Amino acid sequence: MGIFLCSEKTGASPFLGVTQRRGGGTSIPPRGTEAMSGKLTYQQAGVDTRKAAAIVGDIKSHVKRTQKERQLWGAFGLFAACYDLSAYQAPVIMTGCDGVGTKIDLLLERGMYETAGKDLVAMNVNDILTTGGDPLMFLDYIGIPALDGEKIERLIAGMADHLESCGCILAGGETAEMPGIVPEGVVELSGFCIGCAEKTDLIDPTTVSIGDVLVGYKSDSIHANGWSLVRRVLREYPDVATEEELQHWLKPTRLYHDVTRALKAAGVKPRAMAHITGGGLPENLERLFQGLGADLTIPAWELPGIHKLYEHIDAEDRFHTLNMGIGWVAIVAPEDAEKACAAGPGGVILGTMRAGDGVHVKVAGE
């Protein structure tokens, strides 16, 4: 998001400030003119600091709406954002960093900038949620060949939509205008999330034991993983999906804050939680425990057109690449399984923990 709006690596203030040059120095000539000396200006080199400052004003309303549930501490316009943790008795900080992956290619082709912003937030916030933590602050990086106010504003609008819904503050970021480095038509995106939890609320996967129940929650789409494989199929079989079906595949990554909040409200503390991203169900679950495993049966994925994709990919590899319709898994004690299933849309029991390594997945009815 260009909250810390920077052109290349110029000094910049946080989101309510504007791009600033350190030190004194002569002023930049008016836009569209040459320097009085006849020598080159920053703008002539492809970097427009005034345009960057104007974009800051355009995004203020989006930034503001992410501070309804939580607020930053201290003044804006400094070099870093601060958050007061005094409401926590024994705070533990957690951090996450992720991107949108190669899905960004298809989103940019279709001008789906808001979706890209939502994907960026969800990929980071969901990882924070697996720890039992609250997502407090989000920062982003946008690399772009030349500042485009509309694109940046729409990217940030998408981020703000997801952030507002989960109470996470859009606290800062950088928009780097890098002519000659970032190719035309390309946008680089990275996100960073900072969360916090009471030490007693942290999820401890070492507590997972035989007989615990794995409850899955449906995904909204393919989300933001597996797209290198999907794009390969689309290149080789361009008629594999209609544009309408692709729009379903490209829907934003779901946020699972509703699930974690509902679990907490129901008095359920999961043994572990997993965000199902790259590696699918097997790899994202296997990282949680050693010496234990599970045999899962998942519902058939009802995503429009997905079975046409299945025809062109390895039957086993799909489980290790796609979320297969399950974007989140909570492992809970048997007595909490029913309440866990009611904690979010699509909650369903997938299986139970057993002795022996490995997570094996099959689709019901196949």
Q: Per-residue DSSP letters for 268-329? A: ---SEEEE--TTHHHHHHHTT-SSEEEEEEEPPP--TTHHHHHTTS-TTGGGGTS-TTEEEE
Q: CA dist 309 to 174, 244, 297, Å? A: 37, 14, 20
Ranges 39-48, 59-68, 291-300, 309-318: which has the least confidence? 39-48
pLDDT at residue number 109? 97
- Res 72 pLDDT > 90: yes
Q: Between helices 49-65 and 149-166, what is the axis angle to 10°?
A: 20
Report all structural domains of the chain as residue ranges with CATH numbers, in order of start.
4-201 (3.30.1330.10), 205-363 (3.90.650.10)
In this prediction, residue 34 carries a pLDDT of 53
pLDDT at 41: 82
Q: In the structure, what pLDDT confidence band is assigned to residue 336 with cuts at 50, 70 and 90?
A: very high
Instruction: Return the structure tokens found at 140.
Output: 């982003």
Instruction: Reply yes or no on whether the pLDDT at 305 is more than 80.
Output: yes
Partners of 274 in the β-ladder: 329
pLDDT reported for residue 35: 57
The CA distance from 188 to 132, in Å, is: 30
Classified as helix, coil or strand, 17 is coil
Q: What is the mean pLDDT of the chain?
A: 89
Give Cα 341 distance to the centre of its chain. Answer: 24
Residue 338 pLDDT > 90 = yes
Which of 88, 185, 98, 175 has its CA nearest to residue 133? 88
DSSP codes of every residue in 215-258 = EEEE-SSSTTSSHHHHHHHHHH-TTSS-HHHHHHHTSPPPP-HH
At 7 the pLDDT is 36
More confident residue, 338 or 63: 338
Q: How confident is the model at residue 12 (pLDDT cuts 50, 70, 90)?
A: very low
58 pLDDT tier (thresholds 50, 70, 90): confident
CA distance 234 to 238: 5
**Angle at which helices 257-265 and 113-129 pack, to 10 degrees?**
30
Residues 120-140 pLDDT 10s: 999 999 999 999 999 999 999
Q: What is the pLDDT of residue 17?
A: 30
Percentage of residues in the chain having pLDDT higher than 90? 79
Cα 79 from Cα 179, distance rounded (Å)? 25
Nearest residue to 187 via CA among 140, 228, 127, 222: 140
The predicted pLDDT at position 326 comes to: 98
The pLDDT of residue 86 is 96
Between 76 and 133, the higher pLDDT residue: 133
Q: Cβ(45)–Cβ(181) under 8 Å? A: no
The predicted model gives 274-296 an average pLDDT of 96
Tokens matching residue 66: 């992410």
Asked whether the predicted pLDDT for residue 193 surpasses 60, the reply is yes
Does the pLDDT of residue 56 top 80, yes or no? Answer: no
Res. 77 pLDDT band, cuts 50 70 90 = low
The pTM of this model reads 0.89
One-letter identity of residue 69: E
Closest to 268 (Cα-Cα) out of 353, 170, 165, 344: 344
How high is the pLDDT of residue 1? 41
pLDDT (tens digit, 9 = 90+) per residue, 209-258? 999 999 999 999 999 999 999 999 999 999 999 999 999 999 999 999 99
Q: What is the percentage of the chain residues whose pLDDT exceeds 70?
A: 88
- The predicted-structure confidence for 21-35, as pLDDT tens digits, reads as follows 223 333 333 444 455
Token digits for 332?
Answer: 């809970």
- Mean pLDDT of the 330-336 span: 98
CA 3 to chain centre: 17
Write down the pLDDT at residue 299: 98
- What's the rounded Cα separation, in Å, for the pair 165 and 123? 15
Average pLDDT for 114-122: 98
CA angle 283, 287, 293 (to 5 degrees): 80
